[in-house]
A and B are shown apart, each in its own frame.
Chain A
Amino acid sequence: MNRFDFIQPITIEDAIAAWRPGAAWLGGGTNLVDLMKTGALQPELVIDITHLPGLGTIETLPDGSTRIGALANNSDLAHDPGISRRFPMLAEAILSGASGQLRNAATVGGNLMQRTRCAYFQDPNAACNRRVPGLGCDAREGENANLAILGWSASCIATNPSDFCVSLAALDAVVEVQGPAGRREIAFTDFHHLPGDTPERENALKPGELILALRLPAEAAQFATNSRYLKLRDRTSFAFAIASAAAALRLESGRIAEARLALGAVAAKPWRVTEAETLLTGHIPDPALFERAADAALAGAAPSGGNAWKIDLARRTAARALVMAAAGTPARMPALPASPFGELTGEPTHA
């Protein structure tokens, strides 16, 4: 572990003033500290933001939108009654990720900012353009079975591993940030970047900017009765997605008045697919329609290595998520959230 300075500011202003190039914000530490241990990240200054005031609250604002502080932990958020009632898909996505212990520690801001799980990113001995621009990308010829099929570039084929972010992209969340130049807002779908030639620029944050909160517009709650997150994975729980999808429908007199669809684990950002949403709008839900929407969602998908198989699975995952959304949000959170096995009755509640 490298030597680094560690500070615990108690006001947002102090925190932002303390930032300098080479600094890292520390939330729950479940991602940052792991990467510091492998040596992949070596910040010179670690700024612990967990003592900043007012960033842990979840509140409904006068305009009906919901504001989630960046320090709210993943468990509290998923178990917040208002969240699970109005945005059940968010709760389902969070609960399908990591483990109970990790979710207790992980913060909302950290979840948004978590780094790719590409093995070469985590390994300081490997060449990785995302970690050190210009070094090359060891994943291209390496172990890449679970890497991107959409939006990748020759310089990086990594995926964004977050489950939570997929549902946020579908629900048109907004990220509130504050930096040396003041406060601003970023639309969630603009938050994460595709790699292009600059995979190191992972998101829209400018140097020194801190995530303060997320906001979900009031309209996002209109999907509450028909929204699901579905996650395909190599074991029943505690595994990153192979492919995932957040699907939300607003039904009016039996027709889809509005649809949302975003895919996870397929690209460097949550893959919102408005083409598929348009295709769904105005139609009566039916499996064939969902298949067409899923086809549209994967249009342009291409293997980045030994992962051609993922394309069809992602398509099937999207179609199934739409079927599940059309069937309706379950009255209670499935014991195995986001799992194809989740509807089974009599499951224990550990997920």
Chain B
Amino acid sequence: MPDILSRPFRFGSNSGQPITRRDGIAKVTGTAIFAADNMPDRLLHAVIVPAGIARGRVTHLDAEAAEAHPGVTHVITPQNRPPLQGDPSAKTMMFSFRIEVLQDDAVRYAGQPIAMVLGETLEAATEGAHLLSPRYDVEPARVRLDDSPSFAFDPAGFGLPADVEHGDVDAGHRAARWVVDATYETAAQYHNAMETHAIVAEWDGDRLTLDMPSQALAISCAAYAFYFGIPAGNVTLRSPYLGGGFGSKAFATGPQVLAILAARMTGRPVKLMLTRQQMFGPVGHRGATRQRLRLGADDRAALTVIDHEGLAETSSFDDFVEPAAGASQGLYAARALRSTHRAVRLDIGTPGPMRAPGEASGSAALECAMDEMAEQIGIDPLEFRLRNYAETEPGTGRPYSSKALRECYMQAAERFGWAGRPLKPGQMRDDNGLLVGWGMGTALFPCPMFAAEARATLRPDGTALVETSAADMGQGAWTALAQIAADSLGLPLEKLEFRSGHSGLPDAGVAGGSGHTATAGGALHAAGSDVIRQLGEIAAADPASPLYGSGNAGFVARDGRLYVADDDSRSEAFAEIIGRAGGAAITGNGTASRPPEDAERHAMSSHGAVFAEVKVDPDLYQMRVTRMVGAFAAGRIINPRLAESQLMGGMIWGISFALHEEARHDPRTGRIVNADFAGYHVPVNADVRGLEVITVHEDDPYVNALGIKGVGEIGITGAVGAIANAIWHATGKRIRRFPIRIEDLSTA
């Protein structure tokens, strides 16, 4: 078995270019059609009624009042909800969640749909929903981590992180000359893409058409088909654009299933679009965590142990546990490593994967603990990390497929001007008397690969059509994937028609796990290569072609022509080859996935280093991140502009995580009291200053054929800790709860 997955191939006339988003103009001019823009004839509008309590039973809904409202056509409650063919509590596949679709009158979290109202207009349905005036039997809400006992679970399956242990943890603790034992808390965060969850559902017999944003088209089709007892092939899902996803649009959600049910029940197309407030509950969130980190280090500042215990909230009816402690695996060369997880059942919607699930929360805690350890030992935090640099994967000893983390540290530190940072806190002030602090953190994210398929068709005129059902969440799939496809075919982008975002196309897998470009791109590349291989066979066998007989030398496709690999003087245009061969288009198919044995042999991760400067008012404690530099090594960068924008977006989420984002529950009703953008803060422009991203070159021959690692999520990791550490460096105060607020500093 060769050690290298792919032969070196020519790559680069499109890839590597900072091409702007190909869908950019359509989006900024409003011509891009998002799901909720669809207005089929005879459309009914659906509005869900969210539960106003977190636990108990609905005892009364005034359906008569709602039905009497002009324009209201149907009120769907647990009493009259038509049956589903698939059990909404079933876990049929890896990514299944139990969904709330009016199966009973129980309330399990505030915001759970307890009824759905349909109307001829959105306004009528909205008013009908108000008129239902629910009454409840209320039971006390459990919404804080201490409100229920914690439990361990059988760590198996999606959403249930495995506990991992390497080395002798007890011995690691005993060998420690320096000890950090600290507990950190992270707040619940709710996915709030600009585009809220929307769907337009229409039935034609037993065929279902869905216009909805989806990060995973094939999986979604299978899920909806299951609930409605039809073959997956009967579901057509159109998702050309998503206004953001962040993990929340990869799964079937209760409200969307109810909208499909409503469409079947009424025989009319039904549209549902959640309001901003309704995003806080039924469509997943990043669960709150409490993490205890125990670090030990010896005389030489070498880590003897990283012992990371995660406690995370989950719902009362399903299991998803933020895998925070997993972030301590695979990063620092500790002699012993342990990651364990426990969960707490609360009266909340089920958490789910949200951009860097586990990695973001876990990295926040780990990077702070590392800083606390460096402080204790009395060495520079960067130096401390370098002393514990893992040359091979800690615990397993596997080699890394590639790892330019050291270069990331050096380049980011240099650019930031880290040298000369005082070790002690509270030493730096700016001209206005503000406290200045510098902190850093390491970024780490795995680079998974899923399975995908793609098709490429070279047309007789020398242009090509490439097809795969990828998801552009704004990250730029329409652009980066087309660049890969164009390169695989040796065509300029203009000669390429790229079709995507439709379930009828070959399955491009999930846009998640930062693996979409690698996975869908891999399939596209394989499909294009398949076309070129076929074209080469035709040309090599065609005595009229200048390429005749050169099959053994191999071919290179470039700019619409096929060249003999070792002889640039022999070439022919695609169209001519096809024309002589009878003029039939050539279709190639490609798949991509990572063979398990390759995944076993190497540790594969993207790495990075993030440095942050904060300023803090010494009396008022208002904080601001004034500068951030992140350097990331993430394999081949297909489109530097898009990659940098992803990395920046991640770092901005780091600011959000560190200083802003938090869903706050009323302790008695369990309702989220800040469920809108006035109350649920994310950074605004004025909070994001001087953000710099460096991408560090990395060739990775093992990770996949294209050497792509993925950049979608890593930017959050490292950043949160860097900011908290900078706040400590400015003020001398360790705040171990995120987001860090003015009152935390003022009372610390």
Task: Enumerate chain A interface residues (CB-CB to B < 8 A).
Answer: 1-3, 38-39, 99, 117, 119-120, 123, 125-126, 138, 141-143, 145, 232-240, 242, 309-310, 312-313, 316-317, 319-320, 336, 339-341, 343-344, 350-351
- Residue from the set A1, A117, A233, A340 with the largest chain B CB neighbour count within 10 Å: A340
B664–A143 CB distance below 8 A: yes
Task: Write the nearest CB–CB distance from B688 to chain A, whole angstroms.
Answer: 9
Task: Write the nearest CB–CB distance from A240 to chain B, whole angstroms.
Answer: 8
Beyond A313-B742, A317-B620, A341-B622, whether A143 also contacts B666 by CB under 8 A is yes
B325-333, B448-456, B597-605, B667-675: which lies at the A interface? B667-675
A340–B746 CB distance below 8 A: no
A320–B667 CB distance below 8 A: no
B620–A340 CB distance below 8 A: yes
- Residue from the set A117, A232, A310, A350 with the largest chain B CB neighbour count within 10 Å: A232
A313–B668 CB distance below 8 A: no
Query: Is B681 close to A, CB under 8 A?
Result: yes
Query: Is B659 close to A, CB under 8 A?
Result: yes
Would you give the 0/1 interface string for B673-699, flagging 1 where the beta carbon is closer than 8 Å to chain A?
A: 110001101011111000000000000
Task: Write the nearest CB–CB distance from A333 to chain B, whole angstroms.
Answer: 14
A320–B52 CB distance below 8 A: no
Query: Is B403 close to A, CB under 8 A?
Result: no
User: In the complex, what residues of A have CB within 8 A of residue B673's CB?
Assistant: 119-120, 123, 142-143
User: In the complex, what residues of B have CB within 8 A of residue A341's CB?
Assistant: 434, 615, 617, 622, 624
B746–A233 CB distance below 8 A: no
Could you tell me the distance between the alpha carbons of A238 and B682 in the complex, rounded to whole angstroms?
A: 10
Residue among B123, B615, B666, B743 making CB contact with A313, cutoff 8 Å: B743
Query: Is B621 close to A, CB under 8 A?
Result: yes
Could you tell me the distance between the alpha carbons of A336 and B686 in the complex, rounded to whole angstroms?
A: 8
Q: Which residue of B lies closest to A308 (CB)?
A: B747
Could you tell me the distance between the alpha carbons of A126 and B53 in the complex, rounded to whole angstroms?
A: 10
Query: Is B494 close to A, CB under 8 A?
Result: no
Query: Is B45 close to A, CB under 8 A?
Result: no
Considering only residues 417-445 of chain B, those with a C-beta below 8 Å from chain A are 430, 432, 434
Task: Write the nearest CB–CB distance from A148 to chain B, whole angstroms.
Answer: 15
B126–A142 CB distance below 8 A: no
User: In the complex, what residues of A have CB within 8 A of residue B499's CB?
Assistant: none
Considering only residues 611-638 of chain B, those with a C-beta below 8 Å from chain A are 615, 617, 619-622, 624
Task: Write the nearest CB–CB distance from A307 to chain B, whole angstroms.
Answer: 8
Could you tell me the distance between the alpha carbons of A240 and B432 in the complex, rounded to whole angstroms?
A: 24
Query: Is B660 close to A, CB under 8 A?
Result: yes
Query: Is B120 close to A, CB under 8 A?
Result: no
Beyond A125-B52, A235-B683, A312-B746, whether A1 also contacts B126 by CB under 8 A is yes
Could you tell me the distance between the alpha carbons of A193 and B507 in the complex, rounded to whole angstroms?
A: 63
Interface residue count on the B side (C-beta < 8 Å): 40
User: In the complex, what residues of B have CB within 8 A of residue A239's CB?
Assistant: 681
B130–A39 CB distance below 8 A: yes
The 21 listed contacts between A and B (C-beta, < 8 Å) are A2-B127, A120-B666, A120-B673, A138-B666, A141-B667, A142-B666, A142-B668, A143-B664, A234-B659, A234-B741, A235-B659, A235-B686, A236-B687, A237-B685, A237-B686, A237-B687, A312-B746, A313-B743, A320-B620, A340-B434, A350-B686
User: In the complex, what residues of A have CB within 8 A of residue B617's CB?
Assistant: 340-341
Task: Write the nearest CB–CB distance from B189 to chain A, whole angstroms.
Answer: 15
A119–B679 CB distance below 8 A: yes
Beyond A143-B664, A351-B686, whether A125 also contacts B671 by CB under 8 A is yes
Could you tell me the distance between the alpha carbons of A144 and B221 in the complex, rounded to whole angstroms?
A: 44
Could you tell me the distance between the alpha carbons of A236 and B368 in the complex, rounded to whole angstroms?
A: 24
A313–B660 CB distance below 8 A: no
User: In the complex, what residues of A have CB within 8 A of residue B430's CB?
Assistant: 344
A-B complex: 9 closest residue pairs judged by Cβ atoms: A119-B673, A236-B686, A237-B686, A125-B52, A340-B617, A309-B743, A143-B673, A238-B684, A142-B666
Task: Write the nearest CB–CB distance from B273 to chain A, whole angstroms.
Answer: 14
Task: Write the nearest CB–CB distance from B737 to chain A, whole angstroms.
Answer: 13
User: In the complex, what residues of A have CB within 8 A of residue B681's CB?
Assistant: 234-235, 239
A313–B684 CB distance below 8 A: no
B742–A234 CB distance below 8 A: yes
User: In the complex, what residues of A have CB within 8 A of residue B671's CB?
Assistant: 123, 125-126
Task: Write the nearest CB–CB distance from B685 to chain A, whole angstroms.
Answer: 6
User: In the complex, what residues of B have CB within 8 A of residue A142's CB?
Assistant: 666-668, 673
Q: Which residue of B lies closest to A316 (CB)?
A: B619
Q: Which residue of B lies closest to A42 (CB)?
A: B130
Instruction: Add 13 more A-B contacts to A316-B620, A341-B624 (CB < 8 A).
Output: A1-B130, A39-B130, A117-B678, A123-B671, A138-B666, A143-B665, A143-B667, A234-B741, A235-B659, A236-B687, A341-B617, A344-B430, A350-B685
A2–B130 CB distance below 8 A: yes
User: In the complex, what residues of B have CB within 8 A of residue A126's CB?
Assistant: 666, 669, 671
Task: Write the nearest CB–CB distance from B618 to chain A, whole angstroms.
Answer: 10
B686–A232 CB distance below 8 A: no
User: In the complex, what residues of B have CB within 8 A of residue A125's CB?
Assistant: 52, 669, 671
Could you tell me the distance between the alpha carbons of A314 and B665 in the complex, rounded to whole angstroms?
A: 25
Residue among A3, A236, A240, A339 making CB contact with B127, cutoff 8 Å: A3
B130–A340 CB distance below 8 A: no
User: In the complex, what residues of A have CB within 8 A of residue B660's CB?
Assistant: 234-235
Task: Write the nearest CB–CB distance from A95 to chain B, whole angstroms.
Answer: 12
User: In the complex, what residues of A have CB within 8 A of residue B665's CB?
Assistant: 143
User: In the complex, what residues of B have CB within 8 A of residue A313's CB?
Assistant: 620-621, 742-743, 746
B679–A232 CB distance below 8 A: no
User: In the complex, what residues of B have CB within 8 A of residue A309's CB?
Assistant: 743, 746-747
A233–B678 CB distance below 8 A: no
Could you tell me the distance between the alpha carbons of A233 and B621 in the complex, rounded to whole angstroms?
A: 10
B742–A242 CB distance below 8 A: yes
Residue among A119, A232, A319 making CB contact with B674, cutoff 8 Å: A119
Would you give the 0/1 interface string for B120-133, flagging 1 where the beta carbon is closer than 8 Å to chain A?
A: 00010011001000
User: In the complex, what residues of A have CB within 8 A of residue B126's CB?
Assistant: 1
Task: Write the nearest CB–CB distance from A131 to chain B, whole angstroms.
Answer: 15
Could you tell me the distance between the alpha carbons of A237 and B678 in the complex, rounded to whole angstroms?
A: 12
Residue among B123, B621, B624, B667 making CB contact with A1, cutoff 8 Å: B123
User: In the complex, what residues of A have CB within 8 A of residue B685's CB?
Assistant: 237, 350
Q: Which residue of A lies closest to B277 (CB)?
A: A38
Beyond A1-B123, A141-B668, A143-B664, whether A232 also contacts B620 by CB under 8 A is yes
User: In the complex, what residues of B have CB within 8 A of residue A312's CB?
Assistant: 746
User: In the complex, what residues of B have CB within 8 A of residue A141's CB?
Assistant: 667-668
User: In the complex, what residues of B have CB within 8 A of residue A232's CB?
Assistant: 620, 622, 742
Considering only residues 574-625 of chain B, those with a C-beta below 8 Å from chain A are 615, 617, 619-622, 624
Could you tell me the distance between the alpha carbons of A302 and B164 in the complex, rounded to whole angstroms?
A: 50
Q: Which residue of A lies closest to B682 (CB)?
A: A235
Could you tell me the distance between the alpha carbons of A336 and B684 in the complex, rounded to whole angstroms?
A: 13
User: In the complex, what residues of A have CB within 8 A of residue B615's CB?
Assistant: 341
Could you tell me the distance between the alpha carbons of A1 and B275 in the complex, rounded to whole angstroms?
A: 13
User: In the complex, what residues of B have CB within 8 A of residue A3's CB?
Assistant: 127
User: In the complex, what residues of B have CB within 8 A of residue A350's CB?
Assistant: 685-686
Could you tell me the distance between the alpha carbons of A339 and B683 in the complex, rounded to whole angstroms?
A: 16
User: In the complex, what residues of A have CB within 8 A of residue B686's CB?
Assistant: 235-238, 336, 350-351
B684–A236 CB distance below 8 A: yes
Q: Which residue of A lies closest to B673 (CB)?
A: A119
User: In the complex, what residues of B have CB within 8 A of residue A344's CB?
Assistant: 430, 432
Could you tell me the distance between the alpha carbons of A313 and B620 in the complex, rounded to whole angstroms?
A: 6
Task: Write the nearest CB–CB distance from B656 to chain A, whole angstroms.
Answer: 10
User: In the complex, what residues of A have CB within 8 A of residue B130's CB?
Assistant: 1-2, 39
Task: Write the nearest CB–CB distance from A252 to chain B, whole angstroms.
Answer: 28
Could you tell me the distance between the alpha carbons of A133 and B117 in the complex, rounded to whole angstroms?
A: 31
Q: Which residue of B lies closest to A341 (CB)?
A: B624
Beyond A141-B668, A309-B743, whether A1 also contacts B684 by CB under 8 A is no
- Residue from the set A233, A235, A316 with the largest chain B CB neighbour count within 10 Å: A235
B624–A236 CB distance below 8 A: yes
Q: Which residue of A lies closest to B685 (CB)?
A: A350
Q: Which residue of B lies closest to A342 (CB)?
A: B432
User: In the complex, what residues of A have CB within 8 A of residue B434's CB?
Assistant: 340-341
Could you tell me the distance between the alpha carbons of A343 and B127 in the complex, rounded to whole angstroms?
A: 48
User: In the complex, what residues of A have CB within 8 A of residue B620's CB?
Assistant: 232, 313, 316-317, 320, 340
